[in-house]
Amino acid sequence: MIKPIAIVGGGFSGLLLASVLGDEVVVFEEHDKVGRPPHCTGLVSLRTFRSISRLTGIGSEVIEGYFNELMIKPLSVDDYVVLKLSEPVVKLDRVRIEELLANIATSKGALIKVNHVVTKVSPDGTVLVKNQVGRFSTVFIAEGSSLRLCKFLNLCGKVIEKLVGAQYLLKCYKCPDEGIYVLTSSKLTKFFGWLISYDKKLLLGLITRKDPSIKLKYLLKMAVKEFNLNIKEVIKVFGGPIVIGYPRLVPYLGNVFAIGDAALMVKPISGGGLYGAVRQVMAISKSFNPPKDLSKSKYLRLMLTTVLNIYSQIKLLRLILSTYGTYDSLIRSLIRSGIKDVKVIDYDNHLLNVLTNLVKLLT
């Protein structure tokens, strides 16, 4: 056994955990590089970013923008609903942060093995990688939304929906004012998009069920019209799958734990997988005394509020969508009712906060 703990997957969750556990771990990554694909927008609450900082020492060099509000705008309507945030949302440089996490992990003695696909994990901590068997005291599966190993072990919870996120990174001759604009459309159901203007760049993206490239082109056309964009260059087009579902209350089997997207720790709407992963790594760091076993009861206790938060936000989202049909009709009806300023307490609990604020405004 090369190290007592194995982490399967060198994405954000696996690298964050490796940067905390250091010398005790080996990370197996199937690609030739860790931290890829860089599919993510990188929005987190300042509080979540501070937790990353406390866990790793990474500072504000990875922050590309600070935002105090979200402007929600149906395409072809001039009005906005403004969600005011009690503390900023920050946009992280996702490629840079994963490079730094990998450096921190290796400088603390973690082994990172790229081009190593794990094909099987057993509850006793046995891992099959490159046709070799290794036995570990603890295995963390951080395989992302592929859920290949977690599904086999029945570890990932209940998947409700598989969505796709896609985005353009653009350079403009003149960008709109810095901000986050969330876009809805009456023409596209099960859809919302975003336009983030920061640091003289624009990120234009969307979440949808299928045909992301056709919808992304449509969104670009609409955004050019609505925001008078004069685009200089498409820097890149990128994206990836997003799974939404109820995480398991007990995300382990024997010595094997699921973390990150693999455990469905994804807050809906804001694509908030980083929040869930950070909360898990914080809980692991407090309940683990490597190389001894992780105190499972302490870990579960520490994770309970986060799991319930994700759970209730997904339930709420489904309730909202079953009532209004689409995001677009919800936003249009808020605008029609004159509700244009909603004070949101906390980005990490945004759906619950929006609902309580709406109830207050309506009563």
Among 20, 21, 26, 41, binds ligand FAD (CB under 6 A): 41
State the number of binding residues for ligand FAD (CB under 6 A).
Answer: 42
| Strand duo 25-28 + 111-113: pairing | parallel
Question: Where in 277-336 is the site for ligand FAD (CB under 6 A)?
Answer: 277
Name the residue nearer to ligand FAD (CB basis): 47 or 148: 148
Check binding of 268 to ligand FAD (CB under 6 A): no
Residue with the closest Cβ to ligand FAD? 273
Give the binding range for ligand FAD (CB under 6 A) out of 10-18, 78-86, 304-312, 331-339.
10-18
Distance of CA 295 to the CA centre of its chain: 26
Name the residue nearer to ligand FAD (CB basis): 10 or 245: 10
Among 144, 157, 212, 247, binds ligand FAD (CB under 6 A): 144
Q: What angle do CA 38, 43, 46 make, to 5 degrees?
A: 130
List, in order, residues 6 or more apart from 284 with CB less than 8 Å away: 17, 20, 21, 140, 257, 259, 294, 299
CB of 94 to ligand FAD, least distance (A): 7
The CA distance from 307 to 258, in Å, is 13
The answer to whether residues 297 and 283 touch, using CB atoms and an 8 Å cutoff, is no
Name the residue nearer to ligand FAD (CB basis): 44 or 55: 44
Give the binding range for ligand FAD (CB under 6 A) out of 150-158, 247-255, 270-278, 285-293.
270-278
Among 4, 42, 65, 212, binds ligand FAD (CB under 6 A): 42
Helix (H, G, I), strand (E, B) or coil at 74: strand
Among 5, 7, 28, 157, binds ligand FAD (CB under 6 A): 28
Among 19, 56, 167, 287, binds ligand FAD (CB under 6 A): 167
Q: What angle do CA 276, 354, 176 make, to 5 degrees?
A: 85
Distance of CA 331 to the CA centre of its chain: 23
* Phi/psi of residue 274, nearest 5 degrees: -70, -40
Burial class (CB in 10 A: 0-12, 13-18, 19+), 32: exposed
List, in order, residues 6 or more apart from 31 with CB less than 8 Å away: 10, 114, 115
Check binding of 74 to ligand FAD (CB under 6 A): no
Check binding of 274 to ligand FAD (CB under 6 A): yes
Among 3, 13, 62, 102, binds ligand FAD (CB under 6 A): 13
Q: Which two tokens stand for residue 185?
A: 């459309």
Name the residue nearer to ligand FAD (CB basis): 311 or 324: 311
Give the binding range for ligand FAD (CB under 6 A) out of 57-65, 257-265, 325-333, 344-352.
257-265
Q: How far is CA 206 from CA 15, 60, 128, 259, 317, in A?
A: 26, 27, 37, 25, 17
Check binding of 43 to ligand FAD (CB under 6 A): yes
Judged by the rule CB under 6 A, the positions of this chain that interact with ligand FAD are 8-14, 28-31, 39-44, 117-118, 142-146, 148-149, 165, 167, 205, 239-240, 242, 260-262, 266, 271-275, 277
